[in-house]
Structure 1
Amino acid sequence: MEKKITKIEPVRKQEQQNAPMMKRVCAYCRVSTASGEQKHSLEAQMRYYTKLIQEKEHWIWAGIYADEAQSGTKMTHREQFLQMIQDCKKEKIDLILTKSITRFARNTVDSISTIRMLKDMGVEVYFEKEKISTFSEKSEQLLTILSSIAQSEAENISANSKWAVQRRFQNGTYKISTPTYGYEKDENGELVIQSEEARVVRRIFEAYLSGKGCYTIAKELQAEGVPTIRNKGKWHEVVVQEILLNPVYEGNLIYQKTYSTSCLPFTRKRNHGTYPKYLITENHPPIITKEEAEAVRQIYEYRSQSAKNKASSLNRYVFSGR
């Protein structure tokens, strides 16, 4: 008996052959800074995609997702991007339009893993500049190469920016972006004393010099509802400790106390000797005297050493301190 083979086309393919399938289409836009030029670029992208989607006969408007002043090297803070992914999981989107791979992500791992996840959900991504659809056969190979190039560009930009910042560290022209507690910036970007916060700083130093510990000081400030820097967060022992040991309050600045890693994903780390630090003395008006700052450092060192000695003696024997 001769076998008969009948090919049964997938339902979705049959529908496509009979009539164009309606697609729920959205667009993703992103700019990395909040400058006027970038903001204009974002608005232009949004207008373009709104018109494009609404004019297509078989496309259903699924919205515009736009992140402003957000880097493409991380997905963590890109709220609109994450919302778009959530909407894809809820089967609200069939097709995502975006200007280019660099707008979608500059991190190769994030880019490829997200594209794979969307493909598994049946969601297509189309990159207009590169003219690549994630549903095409060779898309992953091309996207991996292009994503790697985008990541390399991001790392080169970061390295150039870091070099420029270090040059400003060396010649003393660097302007800090966010003043520490007790200070604000004047019209020239120089540090000036913020009177209300400065009173709290003096109180912290006076309390510590009078015998109180960091934990007690933090607890009192929290109980009284004293506002923290920019009214964010709470008073903790470590916050008081950082204020007491920060040379900024005696009129000095230390640059490069932290640094950003060279490779993606970029992360901030404490500089414990990886890079040089730069001390700028008499940079701005002090809140406390050098004598007070030195006395606090001596007391802090004495207490730290005493705590270490006490812990050492307590752990000398099995039942020590028990």
Structure 2
Amino acid sequence: MESGTTSKRPELQRLIADANVRKFDCILAKELSRLARNGRLSYEIRDLALNKNIHIITLDNAINTLEGNTHMFGLYAWMYEQEPQRISERVKHTFKIKAQHGQFKGSVPPLGYEVRDGKLYVRNDATPDIVRRIFRDYLSGKGHDRIARELTQEGIPTPSQIAGKNNASDRWGGSTVRLILTNPHYVGDLVQCRSTTKSVTVKDRLYHHPKDYIVVRNTHEPIISRKDFELVQQMIVQRKRIRPQAEVHLFTNTLFCADCGRGMHYKKHVRGYLCGSYNRYAPSFARIIWFGKKS
């Protein structure tokens, strides 16, 4: 069931589509909150109905455009948006208290762990070894993308697959490897409240300053030693380099791979356009479109 704060509800989208072609003359709802608990969305529905000469009637008699009863629309739209906002604030406060007491509050535990009674426990399977291997490979000098490519080539399941997510990719990405390498949970600490949604109506994340994180040390069994973890963080900083702004080439975002459908990227070292997927996962079988004479 979708929240009334979002427009991403199939039945609401069907109502809006039908209203646009005026398949009905009146929208009947128990109360305005049944249509939306989002002020902006409430006004969009009201304006759509007004433009299409469709009436809005709520059974609590708060809104009845048929009788011209619309002067309280703004007040009710504001009131119904405040209710989920207050609930959200209470939930965030509860999460904060649990985090301060060393309880894991995430929806999906880090790779290699499982959650029991709010605590992280090392899984009794191969997943902790995947984490250890990633750290070991990075310490040996391998980069994020190379580690990801090798894990993919060996058929190692991705964190999304292990978590049972829908449409989980079977390909590792360098960004996924980097998230594992920088996750302090692997040394036995809980570091939480690093980000939050901006509001119930704006789902973008607001990222907190590290000084505002809630950190509780030694809450669970580590998979990686502190010494190795800190060494990896130093290596990540040392390997960072300022990349020049990418040059936009003629066929950027225009050419697509005939095999996988992914975009083609211009690569100076091959003097041609290279499939992004092949470049990352199987460079030896890369599809290349050459421009000019190959040297």
TM-score (norm: length of structure 1):
0.65
Q: Distance in 2 between matches of 1:165 and 1:125?
A: 39
Higher-Rg member (1/2): 1
| Residue 263 of structure 1: how far off its partner (Å) | 7.1
| Residue 161 of structure 1: how far off its partner (Å) | 2.6
Q: How does 1:56-67 map to 2 (within 5 A)?
A: none
Number of the residue aligned with 1:183: 113
Number of the residue aligned with 1:295: 231
Kept in 2, the 8 Å contact 1:165–1:174? The answer is no
Distance 1:133 1:241, change over 3 A: same
Number of the residue aligned with 2:69: 138
> For 1:105, what is the secondary structure of its paired residue?
coil
Distance 1:184 1:134, change over 3 A: farther
Q: Distance in 2 between matches of 1:248 and 1:147?
A: 42
Cα deviation code 1:172-205 (max 9, x no counterpart): 345433212222223x232222323322222211
Q: Distance in 1 between matches of 2:200 and 2:13?
A: 23
2:187 matched to 1:255?
no
Residue in structure 2 matching 1:116, options 43, 47, 50: 47
> For 1:132, what is the secondary structure of its paired residue?
coil
> For 1:201, what is the secondary structure of its paired residue?
helix
Q: How does 1:20-169 map to 2 (within 5 A)?
A: 68=1, 70-75=2-7, 77-139=8-70, 141-169=71-99
Kept in 2, the 8 Å contact 1:94–1:122? The answer is yes
| Residue 240 of structure 1: how far off its partner (Å) | 1.0
Structure 2: which 5+ runs fail to align?
162-167, 245-295
Kept in 1, the 8 Å contact 2:113–2:128? The answer is yes
Kept in 1, the 8 Å contact 2:158–2:172? The answer is yes
% same residue: 30
Question: Letter of the aligned partner of 2:205 in structure 1?
Answer: R
Distance 1:74 1:170, change over 3 A: same
Structure 1: which 5+ runs fail to align?
1-67, 312-322
Question: Letter of the aligned partner of 1:162 in structure 2?
Answer: K
Q: Distance in 1 between matches of 2:209 and 2:36?
A: 31
CA RMSD of aligned residues (A): 2.5
Distance 1:166 1:190, change over 3 A: closer
2:104 matched to 1:193?
no
Distance 1:168 1:84, change over 3 A: same
Question: Letter of the aligned partner of 2:239 in structure 1?
Answer: R
Kept in 1, the 8 Å contact 2:104–2:119? The answer is no
Kept in 2, the 8 Å contact 1:73–1:105? The answer is yes
Distance 1:227 1:174, change over 3 A: closer
- Higher normalized helix content (fraction of residues): 1
Distance 1:250 1:100, change over 3 A: same
Cα deviation code 1:275-318 (max 9, x no counterpart): 711111121222222222122112112112xx24x97xxxxxxx
Kept in 2, the 8 Å contact 1:192–1:284? The answer is yes
TM-score (norm: length of structure 2):
0.71
Residue in structure 2 matching 1:283, options 205, 219, 228: 219
Q: Distance in 2 between matches of 1:239 and 1:293?
A: 16
Q: Distance in 2 between matches of 1:229 and 1:99?
A: 43
